[in-house]
A and B are shown apart, each in its own frame.
Chain A
Amino acid sequence: MEITSETLDRTLGLLGELIVLRGFPTQRLVVCGGSSLLALGLVSRTTTQDVDVLAKMEDGSLVTPRPLPEWLLALAAEVGRQLALPGGWFNDRVAEQTLFNCGLPAGMQERLTLRNYGAGLLIGFISRRDQIFLKLHAAVDRDGGRHLQDLIDLKPTAEELRDAAEWTRTQDPSEGFLFNLRVLLKEIGHEAPGAHH
């Protein structure tokens, strides 16, 4: 079963309940990707395969969630079995260390939409602006696909795309990335930063 906007609350709510029942500490996590888009109703897509954990909220800042605690993954697996979700539905694959070395988009934390799933789980869903940043990076990095479609669905303005493009260059300043970025932006009718230089 894929995750829909209706089942997302049930899924995360169950995980939160289990965390409390088994006596584990409350988790404060930042989620991006398809589940975040569904939670905030930002795009037309209706399902996602997984919940992408991007970061952990700790002492007023966002830090890498890796490695997610074994017990948390075990509880997620129990939830997955109960709700027939795809294996590995709860993961930190997106939380690459580069993001933390080079920096997440400035102000991301302040723009989070916070939701409590019981006393055991607090989720911060990233904003539309931050989704644009991450989706642009992922679309260039991973050759379009679903990320590009999500990016188009987010209907970014030229200014948002320019800011996002500048941020992606902090993640990967290579010439190859810039080339691909320009190609992608042209494809969707925008110009890349430095295109006139």
Chain B
Amino acid sequence: MKLPVPTTKSELRDPLLRLLWRQWSALGVPGQLAGGRAMIDPEALVLVSSAFARHDARLFEEMFDWLRSNGRWINVLRLTRLQKEHVLGDASILAALAEHLTEDSANLKWKVLLKAEPANKQLALFPHLAVLGGTDEKFARWGWLRPPVERRGLSRSPRMDQPSTFLVKLRALFGRQSRAEVMAWLLSHEAGHPAQVARETGYFRGSVQNVLNELELSGHVQASRRGREKHFSAVRAQWRFLLTWTDEPGAEFPRWLPWASLFSLVQRVNDVVERPGFEASSEDLQAIELNRVMEPVAARLREEGYAPPVEKFPAVGGSGMVLLELRRMIEELDQ
């Protein structure tokens, strides 16, 4: 039987928005959707939300509200590194958010995002809503028309007793620096060498190497030589006190997913299918254009050992099949 294929852009966007709702709710945004078993990457989440959350005004406003009260959990330097490396997010929306956030002296670190290119045209931030009454000046400067920002203040701090906020819990313990990501990565993998850990966590190899060497001195992280490479692993039994959401003796540490790469894949595909005239082009042409943007991300995901979802993507066939597989991937992620 032929599977129904997505024919509209919203069929890719809707499951992504549901995933974003789940992740933001887990972080403390008001909502009833629970986070999944994988740990959330807060920077990757902010980046992908800057590109997609505007298609759900309430999600966008809740994210904005959360950032105002909980922005301290975000590592802005890591965010800019992931943004550059994965070409993820919308720089002008991030700049508009940053301009608001830096009104609070506690959020001055967000200033680094104001280096984006200024806008040369203006669009409605929420494409499905008419802009009535006044517009927000800061957003307008970055090319986005929206009603003036109102602070709702409904966001809560992240709940630490769930798998999805595991990385935030580690940030609370170790600080907002590479040590938290390195520990999170080690606890969700058997072992890894510094270059691999650095690539997947979004930090520089040198700093990750130093952190791993220091962690080894604690005795709670071990190192072994494999050829010329030094591989590090966490002594998991000693870290089980962190699994505060379960009493099960066999409970696993939360999964580490390469969220930045996965979100980048979705954003690139979405950018292609949203190009004017794309839907009218031949299936072969659609497949060529999609493969062109997907190939580098898929290669990276394969390298990082996340091949299964990527291998499903057809090398041939029109956008319908690619969108179908991507939709499935999004729905299966973080379940």
Contact = CB atoms under 8 A, between A and B. Distances in A.
A17 B282 contact: yes
A13 to B, nearest CB: 7
A78 B282 contact: no
A78 B287 contact: no
Interface of A: 10, 13-14, 17-18, 21, 78-79, 81-84
Contacts of B282: 13-14, 17
9 contacts: A14-B285, A18-B285, A21-B289, A78-B292, A79-B284, A79-B288, A82-B284, A82-B316, A83-B284
A11 to B, nearest CB: 9
B284 A14 contact: yes
Contacts of B315: 81
B281 interface: yes
Contacts of A17: 281-282, 285
Given A14-B284, A18-B285, A82-B288, 10 more contacts: A14-B282, A14-B285, A14-B288, A17-B281, A18-B288, A79-B288, A81-B315, A82-B287, A82-B291, A83-B284
Contacts of B291: 81-82
A12 to B, nearest CB: 12
Contacts of B285: 14, 17-18, 21
- Of the candidates B281, B284, B289, B292, the one having the most CB atoms from chain A within 10 angstroms of its own CB is B284
A50 to B, nearest CB: 18
Nearest to B284: A14
Interface in B288-325: 288-289, 291-292, 315-316
Contacts of B287: 82
B281 A21 contact: yes
Contacts, number: 28
A89 B316 CA distance: 18
A21 B281 CA distance: 10
Contacts of B289: 21
Contacts of B281: 17, 21
Main secondary structure of the interface of B (DSSP, over half): helix
Interface of B: 281-282, 284-285, 287-289, 291-292, 315-316
Contacts of A79: 284, 288
A10 B292 contact: no
Contacts of B316: 82-84
B314 to A, nearest CB: 11
B288 A10 contact: no
Contacts of A10: 284
A9 to B, nearest CB: 11
A83 to B, nearest CB: 7
A76 to B, nearest CB: 12
A70 to B, nearest CB: 17
A84 B316 CA distance: 9
Nearest to B287: A82
Contacts of A21: 281, 285, 289
B223 to A, nearest CB: 43
Contacts of B284: 10, 14, 79, 82-83
A84 B40 CA distance: 40
A107 to B, nearest CB: 36
B274 to A, nearest CB: 15
A19 to B, nearest CB: 11
A55 B12 CA distance: 45
A18 B291 CA distance: 14
A82 to B, nearest CB: 5
A23 to B, nearest CB: 13
A61 B281 CA distance: 33
Nearest to B275: A21
B126 to A, nearest CB: 30
B79 to A, nearest CB: 32
A181 B326 CA distance: 61
B148 to A, nearest CB: 40
Query: Which of A79, A81, A82, A84 has the most chain B CB atoms inside 10 A of its CB?
Result: A82
Contacts of A83: 284, 316
A18 B282 CA distance: 10
Nearest to B317: A82
Contacts of B288: 14, 18, 78-79, 82
Nearest to B277: A21
A10 to B, nearest CB: 7
A21 B292 CA distance: 13
Contacts of A13: 282
A81 B314 CA distance: 13
A81 B292 CA distance: 11
Nearest to A84: B316
B281 to A, nearest CB: 6
Centre residue among B285, B287, B316 by max chain A CB count within 10 A:
B285
B60 to A, nearest CB: 32
